[in-house]
């Protein structure tokens, strides 16, 4: 045991999450494994239906059940096995060990209580402190996330705040019990670009100051580039590529990652006549193709891709990729 060796705050092994639907049972997550170290920021990127939000929800066991359930695998949060944890124990884990911020700060806050009320409640679930003390802590937290005049803001209702401000409140609430892992599920998608940049800066700063593990879930590879040290690309419930951020952007191995990077709307030097695209669309989870799930859309598809599913294997760049013909 050396001080310097980073300890994983989260370790997921062969996680399978299933949902019962009309089309039968679908696998929203199909044997995914990854780790997050203390102080590390991991980005999870993918399009709708790839399982990125399901991953986030499973870590806190917040999968709506039924229809969903964790079918196999293990999730270790700071050494505690979450999958077998009963609900009342989970309540202690949520907020204290790991907490989460969501895309829509308006619906995540209860409109009939002041933000002070809601923050005090969260603090008092985990800490035995008086209401006045909890309120003081709440004000301190609001100050930490750079909300101006927190003494005044704390007695306001969610609708009196702007979108960016609400998201800051959500962050303050999530961090009020100093969790070891923060899961941010599309935290800036609902915000305007200028505000988005501010909020991302805030999350990054706090993550470093508090030495938390951070999982940033987003569809936007741009957001990840600026805030994460490692990236995980998901497609149809599988991890298809995993790499250090610099490496991934410089040298994407999987054709899907490549396509995703190319098709991001970005300001380019030259005006393009046609934007690069990935042809086709994400397949239905209930009706996945045999073999590689990306085969139908892949520019490099071979016969083998249609019969065999490529395993996630190490690359020479230090990452992992699930493809028979990586770049």
With CB under 8 A as the contact rule, which of the stretches 131-139, 149-157, 278-286, 299-307 interacts with other proteins? Answer: 278-286
Virtual torsion, Cα 186, 187, 193, 198, nearest 10 deg: -150
- Euclidean distance between CA atoms 169 and 160, whole angstroms: 12
User: Using CA atoms, how far apart are residues 90 and 62, in angstroms rounded to an integer?
Assistant: 10
How far is residue 154's CA from residue 152's CA, in Å, rounded to a whole number?
A: 6
Out of 7, 31, 219, 300, which residue is the one contacting other proteins (CB under 8 A)? 219
Of the ranges 2-10, 85-93, 97-105, 273-281, which one interacts with other proteins (CB under 8 A)?
273-281
Nearer to other proteins, 75 or 191 (CB): 191
CB nearer other proteins, residue 201 or residue 313: 201
DSSP 276-290: ----S-PPPGGGPPS
Place of tokens 């899907």: 256
Window 2-41: contact mask with other proteins (x via CB under 8 A): --------------------x-------------------
Rounded Cα–Cα distance for residues 178 and 204 (Å): 15
* Phi-psi region at 291: left, alpha or beta (left = phi > 0; alpha = psi -120 to 50): left
- Beta carbon of residue 319, minimum distance to other proteins (angstroms, whole number): 14
Choose between 110 and 263: whose C-beta lies nearer to other proteins.
Answer: 263
275 binds other proteins (CB under 8 A): yes
User: Whole-number minimum distance, CB 8 to other proteins, in Å?
Assistant: 23
Q: What secondary structure letter does DSSP report for 87? A: H
E strands in the chain: 8-21, 24-37, 41-45, 68-77, 80-81, 98-101, 181-185, 213-218, 230-235, 238-244, 313-314, 320-321
Cα angle for residues 173, 198, 7 (degrees, 5° grid): 55
Choose, by CB under 8 A, the member of 194, 299, 303, 316 that binds other proteins: 194
Residue 263 makes contact with other proteins by CB under 8 A = yes
Contact residues for 89 (Cβ-Cβ < 8 A; gap 6+): none
Q: Which of residues 196-215 bind other proteins (CB under 8 A)?
A: 196-198, 200-201
How many residues bind other proteins (CB under 8 A)? The answer is 47
Structure tokens at 40: 């590390």
For residue 230, the minimal CB distance to other proteins (Å) is: 11
Q: Does 112 participate in binding other proteins (rule CB under 8 A)?
A: no
If one asks whether residue 162 binds other proteins (CB under 8 A), the answer comes out as: yes
Pick the stretch among 97-105, 123-131, 151-159, 220-228 that binds other proteins (CB under 8 A).
220-228
Residues that bind other proteins in the complex, under the rule CB under 8 A? 22, 47-48, 162-165, 192-198, 200-201, 219-226, 245-246, 249, 259-261, 263-268, 271-279, 281-282
């Amino acid at each position: 045991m050396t001080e310097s060796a980073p300890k994983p705050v989260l370790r997921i092994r062969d996680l399978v999450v299933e949902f019962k639907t009309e089309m039968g049972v679908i696998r929203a997550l199909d044997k995914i494994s990854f780790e997050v170290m203390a102080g590390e920021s991991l980005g999870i990127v993918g399009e709708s239906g790839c399982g990125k939000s399901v991953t986030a929800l499973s870590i806190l066991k917040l999968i709506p059940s039924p229809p969903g359930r964790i079918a196999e695998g293990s999730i270790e949060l700071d050494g505690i096995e979450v999958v077998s944890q009963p609900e009342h124990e989970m309540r202690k884990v949520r907020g204290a060990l790991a907490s989460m911020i969501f895309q829509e700060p308006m619906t995540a806050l209860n409109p009939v209580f002041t933000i002070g009320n809601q923050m005090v409640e969260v603090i008092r679930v985990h800490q035995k402190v008086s209401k006045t003390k909890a309120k003081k802590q709440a004000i301190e937290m609001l100050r930490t996330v750079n909300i101006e005049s927190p003494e005044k803001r704390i007695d306001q209702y969610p609708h009196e705040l702007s979108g960016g401000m609400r998201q800051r409140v959500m962050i303050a609430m999530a961090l009020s019990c100093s969790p070891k892992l923060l899961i941010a599920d599309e935290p800036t998608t609902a915000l305007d670009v200028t505000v988005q940049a501010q909020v991302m800066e805030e999350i990054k700063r706090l993550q470093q100051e508090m030495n938390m593990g951070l999982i940033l879930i987003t569809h936007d590879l741009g957001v990840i580039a600026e805030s994460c040290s490692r990236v995980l690309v998901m497609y149809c419930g599988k991890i298809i590529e995993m790499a250090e951020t610099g490496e991934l952007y410089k040298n994407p191995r999987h054709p899907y990652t490549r396509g995703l990077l190319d098709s991001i709307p970005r300001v380019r030097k030259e005006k393009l006549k046609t934007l690069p695209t990935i042809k086709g669309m994400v397949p239905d989870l209930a009706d996945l193709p045999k073999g590689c799930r990306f085969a139908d859309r892949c520019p490099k598809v071979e016969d083998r891709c249609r019969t065999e599913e490529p395993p996630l294997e190490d690359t020479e760049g230090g990452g992992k990729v699930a493809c028979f013909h990586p770049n």
